[in-house]
Structure 1
Amino acid sequence: MTTTSRERIVDAYAEALAVDGERHATLEAVAARAGVSKGGLLYHFPSKDQLAEALCDRLVALAAADIEEMRNSPDGPARHYIRTSHYADTSLDRTLIAVARLQQAGDPRASAAIELISDQWLSVLHDALGDRDIARTVKLIGDGLYHNALFSALGGRRARAELDEGLLAVIDRLIDQCVDARQP
């Protein structure tokens, strides 16, 4: 698959943010990482603000695909959310980390994008489980798994996958409680 200069620039910006932080993700540094001139970068993104906007838009689009996959998962949204709550160095993972760095720096679009996708994941869980508190519990378990896996990955360690079976058993019990509560 061929990537465009625009995509390479957004990729480079995401990498610069994730690795070096917002202060060091300068236009010059991004252009160098993308293998384009600063003029080439400015042709696609006349300002750093527009580059940040493109990155936030990418996050929302990647999350929408993930949410659709979650919604249509054969083993249900809750199990899917738990199973996929690991840092796997995917485009979604890298983009989420980069946008989180923008959020840390006070970017309101980044905060809005992260809040939007978090609300969407919770909404799918709520729709599937029928209980907002249990949906929130499942989401927070998944978020905790992701946080733990992310920091393990950043430390050069992989999270232990065998922990998932026990957690999935707990998720199954929560799902069963929701089903039982809905039955007359």
Structure 2
Amino acid sequence: MKRMQKTNTRERLLDAAEAVVIEQGVSAMTLDAVAAKAGLSKGGLLYHFPTKDAIVLGMVSRIASIAQERFAAGLAGEPPGRGRHARTMLHMMLDTEGSLFPRLQRVAGPLLGAVSSNPKMLEPMRRFFQGVYQGMLDDGLPADRSWLILATLDGLKFWRIFGILHPSEEDLAGLRRLLTQIIDEASL
């Protein structure tokens, strides 16, 4: 029971930090602001997150964990064989309705500002993408196609998160067909 309470408090603090970032920006995400938003004492917050960097790392780790869970669920639904990691990534990254993208859209920009001063905080995301890339190679997808697919999907994600470009649904459908064709041709 104590572990469950600890986990719930930790999640509550991460939710509060996320809310502060969304409402006021990452610069307003102080330990005091997060504790107040979560309805906890600063001491309660410090028990779980002793620094602001620890909170940011917790937020990045949670996003990476959600991505990993969604990816694993998608991968489980793919038939064995070549291209399954790439197809899973394609479906996951072009899904704008799933639980991951809206959260990324709200917090990725401010979090990137925070992690720019300490790039080590991106390690959870780095591990996730390295695992996906290695899975693509293990599936038999050539490295050049694996890089192309990851770079394309990541570029689209950042365009949408930062509001740089907004491909239409038709454009995204065409891109999905093209990337699927690249995966399928490499899988023959």
Quickly name the TM-score band, shorter chain normalised: 0.7 to 0.9
8 Å Cα contact 2:26-2:111 kept in structure 1: no
RMSD (CA atoms):
3.2
**Aligned-partner Cα distance in 1 for 2:133–2:139:** 10
1:85 deviation in Å?
A: 1.9
The runs of 5 or more residues in structure 1 that have no matched partner are: none
1:94 deviation in Å?
A: 2.9
- Over the matched positions of the two proteins, sequence identity in percent amounts to 25
- Aligned mate of 1:163, from 162, 171, 174: 171
Matching residue's letter, 1:132? A
1:66-85 Cα shifts (integer Å, max 9, x gaps): 33134324373323322322
* Alpha-carbon spacing, 1:18–1:121, altered in 2? closer, same or farther (3 Å): farther
1:29 deviation in Å?
A: 1.4
Alignment of 1:18-167 (within 5 A): 18=22, 20-74=24-78, 76-86=84-94, 88=97, 90=99, 94=103, 97=108, 99-104=111-116, 106-152=117-163, 160-167=168-175
**Aligned-partner Cα distance in 2 for 1:70–1:126:** 18
**Aligned-partner Cα distance in 2 for 1:88–1:32:** 31
Matching residue's letter, 1:141? T
Q: TM-score scaled to structure 2, two decimals?
A: 0.72
Matching residue's letter, 1:165? A
Matching residue's letter, 1:103? V
* Alpha-carbon spacing, 1:88–1:79, altered in 2? closer, same or farther (3 Å): same
Name whichever of 90-99 and 117-126 sits farther off: 90-99
* Alpha-carbon spacing, 1:54–1:92, altered in 2? closer, same or farther (3 Å): farther
1:18 deviation in Å?
A: 4.9
Q: TM-score scaled to structure 1, two decimals?
A: 0.74
Give SS of 1:46's match. Answer: coil
**Aligned-partner Cα distance in 1 for 2:112–2:132:** 17
1:93 deviation in Å?
A: 5.5
What number of residue pairs does the alignment pair up? 175
8 Å Cα contact 2:60-2:121 kept in structure 1: yes
